[in-house]
Amino acid sequence: NAGVTQTPKFRVLKTGQSMTLLCAQDMNHEYMYWYRQDPGMGLRLIHYSVGEGTTAKGEVPDGYNVSRLKKQNFLLGLESAAPSQTSVYFCASSYLGQGNGDEQFFGPGTRLTVL
Amino acid sequence: GEDVEQSLFLSVREGDSSVINCTYTDSSSTYLYWYKQEPGAGLQLLTYIFSNMDMKQDQRLTVLLNKKDKHLSLRIADTQTGDSAIYFCAEARGSTLGRLYFGRGTQLTVWP
């Protein structure tokens, strides 16, 4: 099993450009999450999904959109990138919700720089 | 407050014990987690504790939970240089199933 994979690993954008980050998991997990990690800020939840075809907002959803058309994939879109979106983005998945003692499995991260 | 609180830095000498502290926010949180992040990598689950437990031990790791004070700690015995990493405390709040709330992380540095 590959676990959780993310593409791309690195990306540099200019302000106003758009892009999509792809997350894929092969563990048949229901729940998927997108986080951003900024220095000294820990992880902040952007959006998450509790199953195929569903999405929900996290703590910092503005400027991002997501889609979960297939159970194994969770896409994060930036429609018009801003320098404030420079960050490391992590995708995670879990079989159950976190109220059940279930582990979240994390991808290796995407380092995004917006100039 | 609404944030999960952790001290940002801890330095210890190899062979000593490390204690990383965390204060969480929701007295109805069901599970509390410790994740480890090594440089350039994602987070990996170290251990977790259910809210009806006071202590959990797993080899070199001991988790203590004080529900009255909403305080969680992670003790690493015989700390090794390979334990150098960022450690995140996280809570699964009772009202928001499916989500974790993370602290800012504690950077543990182990000196030889």
Tell me how far apart the alpha carbons of residues B106 and B112 are, in angstroms, rounded to a whole number. Answer: 19
Q: Give the start-end residues of each E strand in B38-105.
A: 43-50, 55-58, 61-66, 71-76, 85-92, 101-102
SS (H, E, C) A22-57: EEEECCCCCEEEEEEEECCCEEEEEEEECCCCCCEE
Name every chain A residue with its beta carbon within 8 A of the beta carbon of B4: 42
Residues of chain A contacting residue B2, judged by C-beta atoms under 8 Å apart: none
Structure-block tokens of residue B93: 């709040």
Token couple for B66: 């004080």
Q: Which residue has the higher pLDDT, B40 or A37?
A: A37
Chain A residues touching chain B at CB-CB below 8 Å: 4, 31, 33, 40-45, 48, 50, 58, 90, 92, 97-101, 103-104, 106-109
- Please give the residue of chain B at the shortest CA–CA distance from A55: B98
Contact B41 A104 (CB under 8 A): no
Confidence of residue A80 (pLDDT cuts 50, 70, 90): very high
Per-residue pLDDT, averaged over B66-78, amounts to: 95
Pick the residue of B100, B101, B104 with the most A CBs within 10 A to test the interface with A by mutation. Answer: B100
Q: What angle do CA B5, B40, B90 make, to 5 degrees?
A: 25
Q: Give residue-wise pLDDT tens across range B97-109.
A: 657 889 999 999 9
Q: Which residues in chain B touch residue A42, judged by CB atoms under 8 angstroms apart?
A: 4, 88, 102-105
Look at residue B1 in the predicted model and tell me its pLDDT: 47
Chain A, nearest residue to B105 by Cα:
A42
B102 contacts A42? CB cut-off 8 A: yes
Q: Classify residue B104 by its DSSP letter.
A: -
Q: Average pLDDT, stretch A41-54?
A: 91
Two tokens, residue A7: 């593409």
Q: Give the 3-state secondary structure percentages of chain B, helix then strand then coil, rounded to 5.
A: 5, 55, 45
Output the CA–CA distances (angstroms, integers) from residue B1 to A40, A64, B26, B50, in the order listed: 18, 27, 10, 22
Mean pLDDT, range B64-81, rounded to an integer: 96
